Chains A and B, each alone.
Chain A
Amino acid sequence: MAITFEQVNFSYGAGTTLANPILHDINITIADHQVTAIIGQTGSGKSTLIQHLNGLLKPTTGQVTVDDLIVTNATKEKQLTKLRAKVGMVFQFPENQLFANTVLEDVMYGPLNFGYQTDEAKQSAQSALKMVNVAENLWQNSPFELSGGQMRRVAMAGALASNPDIVVMDEPAAGLDPKGQAELLELVANLRQSGKLVVFISHQMDHVVSVADQVIVMQDGHVAVQGTPADVFNRDIDWFKSVNLDLPRAGQFAEQLRANGVSLSRRPLTLTELATMLNEEHKHE
């Protein structure tokens, strides 16, 4: 169920005078059963990249392989339905896609489109709603009567309801408050536990270090680097400036400590790690 990109280039309006190249020579493998975070500044091609994961965009040249399905420029729209059943896609502010009369009907929309029988669709919708913690007494309500946070979770259930092997999320935490963000990270961890491949875009490095196994850094439509969070976030501080990214907060704090004469044996990436290191140090004094 792994995903590979081989020499993928993508341009909007390819072949016209207004061709606008976005992705250049992408060669990556996204491993199964892992969480991969895609980071990079706004406009670096992250969203364009993930739209290749379920054939919303087809590579201008090169090919994308998802499990045993190959997508090239010549792939027909009809063949993509099979791919889309495998990939649950959560867009930025997904609450904007809700449309049905009830929460349950909205979440059933995907499964029904992918050929589930009505009661099968209902069952999988219900388990998806449970997974994202939408209380059962809301299932027959109109999705438009819910709070913003609840709408977001219903929309996520809509992408998870057809039980996809791959879950892709574009900045799922945008606009959520601290509690909502924590719940989201828990959901990502649960999805991983249940054996799914998760890809998510994030601007929050703290989220990346807390749940990701792999990190892909995008810059100007290229893959600048791919590696584990430990590899990527231990790079030189100047490199982060060159790609216009921040370190996780703990790393930033450690860099400032270093500038003030506190030497730490390595760069901590999480709050807990930083606190442990500082407490250890104190013991030795």
Chain B
Amino acid sequence: MNNIMIGRFVPGSSWVHRLDPRTKMIVTFVFIFVMLFASSWATYALSAAFVILAIRLTQQPFKLYWDGLKPIFWLILFTVVLQLFLTPGTPVVFHVGPLQVTWPGILNAIYVMIRFTLIILMSTIMTLSTPPTSIANALESLLAPLNKIHVPVAELALMLSIALRFVPLLMDETQKIMNAQKSRGMSFSTGGPIKRARAIVPLLIPLFVGALQRALDLANAMEIRGFKDAASRTKYRVLLYGRQDVVAFIGTLIFVLIFIGIKISGV
């Protein structure tokens, strides 16, 4: 489990770490949106350069990001293979039985791979440089307008941050219960599908019971510390846009403008 980088926060004090979480979130969404329009070598090269620059600014080694990509390698490969065989066009490069691989198919496959990789890298930059609470705070702040249509944004954000807080604990607990039941002879690897599905019950019930107990305890602890409702609270971590956020937005704007320029000139 240790090598899943997506969603993991790596503490640091780099330029990217210090950006307002809202800035990082907006830039990431803008980038993903723009990537949908990438269609030529020039646009992909530009986007890759943008991501590489951002990675450098996190002051984390490339290897960390590379490790993060590994677990989803198969997902990328699957998409690439789909593109490779299912893109019609000419010239046909070679046949594999009823399937044919075309030149546009090869190009498409490479593009999809790059697009996928860049989007994942960009999202990793955001989660790697932003503590989970800040992500929840940023969401709350960015989605605040939804309050007007009675979406309980503050509650949702608090729920999200508590859920994130309990993830390592529940993973730990799963491991412990698994060990306990394995010691009592639990096995997932024998018997038919029904037997295997039943084998998971001794794992799930203690997990649910434990999670419920934690939830009750946590509710008591929150109540005792004066929690009434999520909306009427002040914030310890106040979100403030600073100089570096302006720089980040201008940088992103320049990236988008050049991107559009390339698209228009048809390179």
- State which residues 177-234 of B face A: CB under 8 Å: 177, 179-187, 189, 201-202, 205-206, 209-210
Contact mask A9-21 → B, CB, 8 Å, 1/0? 0001100111000
| Complex Cα gap A78–B191 (Å) | 13
Select the residue from B3, B177, B184 with max chain A CB neighbours within 10 A.
B184
- Residues from 65 to 112 in A contacting B, C-beta threshold 8 Å: 77-78, 81, 84-85, 87-89, 91, 94, 96-100, 109-110, 112
B186 touches A99 (CB 8 A): no
- A87 and B210 CA atoms in complex are apart in Å by 26
**Interface residue B265 (Cβ < 8 Å from any Cβ of A):** no
B2 touches A109 (CB 8 A): no
The answer to whether B177 and A96 touch across the interface, beta carbons within 8 angstroms, is yes
Interface status of A162 (Cβ within 8 A of chain B) = yes
Q: In the bound complex, what is the Cα–Cα distance between A97 and B173 (angstroms)?
A: 10
Q: Does A172 make an interface contact (CB < 8 A)? A: no
Chain B contact residue count (CB 8 A cutoff):
23
Are B180 and A94 within 8 A (Cβ)?
Answer: yes
Interface of B is mostly: helix
A92 to B131 alpha-carbon distance, docked (Å):
31
A113 to B177 Cα, complex, angstroms: 16
Q: Is the CB of A84 within 8 A of B189?
A: no
Q: Say yes or no: B206 contacts A96, CB within 8 Å.
A: yes
Instruction: Flag whether B176 is at the interface (Cβ < 8 A).
Output: yes
Q: How far is the CA of A99 from the CA of B201 in the complex (A)?
A: 8
Q: In the bound complex, do residue B206 and residue A99 qualify as a contact, i.e. CB atoms below 8 Å apart?
A: yes
- For chain B, residues 48 to 68, give those with C-beta under 8 angstroms from any C-beta of chain A: 63, 67
Question: How far apart are the CA atoms of A279 and B184 in the complex, in Å?
Answer: 49
Within 8 Å by CB of B180, from A97, A112, A162, lies: A97
Q: Which residue of B3, B176, B182 is within 8 Å of A84 (Cβ)?
A: B182
Assembled-state Cα–Cα distance A48/B209 (Å): 26
How many A residues are at the interface, by size bracket? Answer: 20 to 34
A residues near B206, Cβ cutoff 8 Å: 96-99
Contacts of B186 in A (CB 8 A): 113
Distance, CA A105 to CA B119, complexed state (A): 50
Do residues B3 and A16 form an inter-chain contact, with CB atoms below 8 A? yes
User: Would you list which residues of chain A between 1 and 56 have a CB under 8 Å from chain B?
Assistant: 12-13, 16-18, 51, 54, 56
Total inter-chain residue pairs, C-beta < 8 Å: 73
A-chain residues with CB within 8 Å of residue B2 when the two chains form the complex:
12-13, 16, 18
Contact A109 B210 (CB under 8 A): no
Contact B176 A89 (CB under 8 A): no
Are B182 and A56 in contact (CB-based, < 8 A)?
yes
Per-residue A-contact encoding for B150-191, CB less than 8 Å = 1, 0 else: 000000000000000000000001001101111111110100
Closest approach, in angstroms, between the C-beta of B186 and any C-beta of chain A? 6
Residues of B contacting A113 in the complex (Cβ-Cβ under 8 angstroms): 184-187
| A83→B181 CA distance, assembly (Å) | 14
Bound Cα distance A253, B179 (Å): 40
Contact partner of B183 among A17, A84, A144, CB < 8 A? Answer: A84
Contacts of B173 in A (CB 8 A): 96
Are the C-beta atoms of A99 and B205 separated by less than 8 Å? yes
> A85, B185: Cβ atoms under 8 Å?
yes
**Is A240 part of the contact surface with B, judged by Cβ < 8 Å?**
no
Q: Is the CB of B181 within 8 A of A97?
A: yes
Nearest B residue to A89 via CB reads B183
The residue on A at minimum CB distance from B185 is A113
Contacts of B209 in A (CB 8 A): 96, 98-99, 144
| CB atoms of B184 and A109 under 8 A apart | yes
In this assembly, does A229 line the interface, its C-beta being within 8 Å of a C-beta of chain B?
Answer: no
Are A56's CB and B63's CB within 8 A?
no
On chain A, the residues within 8 Å of B185 by CB distance are 81, 84-85, 109-110, 112-114, 162
Whole-angstrom CA separation of A265 from B74 in the bound complex: 71
Evaluate whether A91 and B176 lie within 8 angstroms (CB atoms) in the complex, with A113-B184, A114-B185 already known: yes
Q: A84-B185, A114-B185, A162-B185 are in contact. Are A91 and B180 (CB under 8 A)?
A: yes
Q: Which residue of A lies closest to B202 (CB)?
A: A99
Determine whether A159 belongs to the interface, using a CB cutoff of 8 Å to chain B: yes
Q: Does A158 contact B (CB under 8 A)?
A: yes
Residue in A13, A81, A109 whose beta carbon sits within 8 Å of that of B202 in the complex? A109
Residue from the set A81, A87, A162 with the largest chain B CB neighbour count within 10 Å = A81
Closest 6 pairs (CB-CB, A-B): A113-B185, A89-B183, A110-B184, A97-B180, A99-B205, A99-B202
Given contacts A81-B185, A84-B184, A109-B185, 11 further A-B contacts (CB under 8 A): A56-B179, A56-B183, A84-B182, A85-B185, A91-B176, A96-B180, A97-B181, A98-B206, A109-B181, A113-B186, A159-B184
Sample of 28 A–B contacts (CB below 8 Å): A12-B2, A17-B63, A51-B179, A54-B183, A56-B179, A56-B183, A84-B182, A89-B183, A89-B184, A91-B180, A91-B183, A96-B173, A96-B180, A96-B206, A96-B209, A96-B210, A97-B184, A98-B206, A99-B201, A99-B202, A99-B205, A109-B181, A109-B184, A110-B184, A113-B184, A113-B186, A158-B184, A162-B184
